[in-house]
Amino acid sequence: MPNQTKSKNRVTLGKIAEMAGVSKCAVSLALKGSRKISEAVRRKIKRIADANGYRGSALLSTVMSNIKTGRSCDFLETIVLINANRSKDAPKRFPIFEKYINGIMAEASHLGYSVYSVWLHDEKLTQQRLKKILVSRGIRGGVIIGHADDTILPERFSQIWRDFKFVSAGLRTFNPTLDFISPDKFLIAQYATAQIIKKGYRRPAIVLDAHIDEIVEGRFIGGFLRAQLALPEKSRISPFLDVARAKKKNEIFIDWVKKNKPDVIFSVSNATAEWLDEIYTKLPNSVEIVRLERNSIGEGWVGIDMNYELVGRLAVRKLFDILNTRADMGDIDVSTCTIVEPHWNKNLVLERIPPRGKLPRGSKR
């Protein structure tokens, strides 16, 4: 009987985590002196452990061993994945979001998180209902993806943004301004343009929807214009941003091409790439088209892998940091940004791979 009483009253990692307001994994790290946990939180956890007579256990050793060897931790807690796109099936329609999610799920599994998914624009989802969902599942925070339509999150969920911790994957958010992880769009465009110039092209142009340029804060355009400085001023072509109007009236873009005479055109988004594919035969034969991002192997475009899955993984790591190392630091009124370098395709712009159903120019049937 005495042994049973002792076992029943024994303080565990879970109890210490509850008293400290952090996760079990954070307690494990703190008690081992890991620098992944802030010094203030380490002291707090050590104080609670000592006051409650905690003694090291095989569980602690196992968790630490898993972290050191790269194996997944046991279940720690649940985080929420919020799809903030106006389309519920955006993760299925857009490869970018799917890759973010793949990275988020992989890192969550590695750290011991379970993931609960929510579509933010569900008509039945109110602030009160979402809060009840989060609280009932013990969720303290999550990752937001898909907010390409609007970087300002819905005001009707203001209490959620205030009371829970979130990280944005892909884009910066405003009102609230969250910590975010993003591909290095400036470097992507600068590098691609510089490589094209190096390969002998002298009149590169970029086609980008004005809305996309706005939500990425001009980073694609900025990188492109910076690289253009290597060309004589007369060879520099201003970006084409009027994609929305040109999709309705192709002549707007075709006239722009004839006037500016680019020898190569960059595209960024899937929608823009598909539109260029449709009107490709209407363009002068001297124009090549290159896509700045590659969403999957085997597509008919040469480009760059923007490491979207890594963006997703780092978003979860950032969330882990926020949930477990800031308990005693108070609110920081400045968001942080982690920029992810892309993976360069060695064959970038060596040739234009023809769209589906077309032969390379000059080929005979």
| Predicted local confidence at residue 315, as pLDDT | 97
Structure tokens at 178: 């969250």
| Predicted local confidence at residue 287, as pLDDT | 82
In angstroms, what CA-CA distances link 324 with 178, 290, 294, 318? 17, 43, 35, 10
Q: What are phi and psi of 206, to 5 degrees?
A: -125, 135
Compute the distance between CA of residue 130 and CA of residue 126 in angstroms, rounded to an integer: 6
| Predicted local confidence at residue 12, as pLDDT | 80
The sign of the torsion formed by the CA atoms of 70, 314, 299, 187 equals: negative
CB contact set of 192 (below 8 Å; sequence gap of 6+): 227, 266, 290, 292, 303, 304, 348, 349
Compute the distance between CA of residue 95 and CA of residue 271 in angstroms, rounded to an integer: 12
The total of other beta-carbon atoms located within 10 Å of residue 148's CB is: 21
| Predicted local confidence at residue 67, as pLDDT | 53
Compute the distance between CA of residue 281 and CA of residue 276 in angstroms, rounded to an integer: 9
Please classify residue 68 by burial: count the beta carbons closer than 10 Å to its beta carbon, then call 0-12 exposed, 13-18 middle and 19+ buried: exposed
pLDDT tens for the chain, 365 residues long, are 444 444 445 678 788 888 888 887 788 778 877 776 888 888 898 889 888 887 664 444 554 455 555 566 667 789 999 999 988 998 888 888 899 999 999 999 998 899 999 999 999 999 999 999 999 999 999 999 988 777 788 889 999 999 999 999 998 888 888 999 999 989 888 988 998 898 889 999 999 999 888 888 999 999 999 999 999 999 999 999 999 999 999 999 999 999 999 988 888 776 677 788 778 778 777 788 777 665 444 444 445 778 899 999 999 999 988 887 644 445 556 788 999 988 776 654 433 434 433 434 443 33
Q: Domains in the chain, start-ordered, CATH in brackets?
A: 2-69 (1.10.260.40), 77-177+308-340 (3.40.50.2300), 185-291 (3.40.50.2300)
| pTM across the whole model | 0.72
